[in-house]
Amino acid sequence: MGLDSIIDFSKVSILIKDHLVFKSIDLTVQKGEFVYIIGKVGSGKTTLFKTITAEIPVAEGNALVAGFQLESIKRKHKPLLRRKIGVVFQDFQLLSDRTVNDNLAFVLKATGWKGKSEIKTRIGEVLEKVGLGYKGYKFPHQLSGGEQQRVVIARALLNNPEIILADEPTGNLDPKTSEEIIEILQEVCKNGRAVLMVTHNYNLLKKFPHRIIKCSNEGIQETDLNDPEIEHLSKQMG
């Protein structure tokens, strides 16, 4: 494992029940790297994310994530691993009966933060980072889809994670807002965090070029925009 790699999979196999999803895959992601994950429905993209967060166990091989060895991780250490990972969902999953500030405070309290002033300061910092410094008092329904997704990114940043996993974060957003979300995620990357983003959006892949990993046939492989499957996927999903 290189000094700067934050994810290092070597000959990793992943099973769900008796179904083999990945067979003997290798994957290395560096700190501060932005990686797109693509693939057809059912190709294992979500399974890969759930393995990184230790929700799905490693069946074979060695998997090191943020300093934790996944094939031998103890249950009591899983919350510590997950604190080093921020997750951004397509469908926001914000608590509708609470303001933005209260949504974020809820997460901080659940992960052990106690001081009111520290909580308030941290919420202000992450909202500032996503350009919502003045919207903390609003409820989710008072925000646009793009603003809600910015709140979700702010939530993912609360515990200063080393890795961000973004699962179709622009799936429900218009093109302009989608680009704004990618720009925020790229900024997050510049601070040394690794960002892994599942997408099928060909235009984003083209406009914001980064490394592309394709999940298919129980494996993963590096690919690029010349891969005919990328354009096909985009048309299929669009």
Confidence (pTM) = 0.93
List, for residues 145-190, the tens digit of each pLDDT value. Answer: 999 999 999 999 999 999 999 999 998 889 999 999 999 999 999 9
**pLDDT cut 90: percent of the chain above it:** 81
Indicate the Cα dihedral angle 34, 42, 81, 35, nearest 10°. -10
> Tokens 């190709």 label which residue?
43
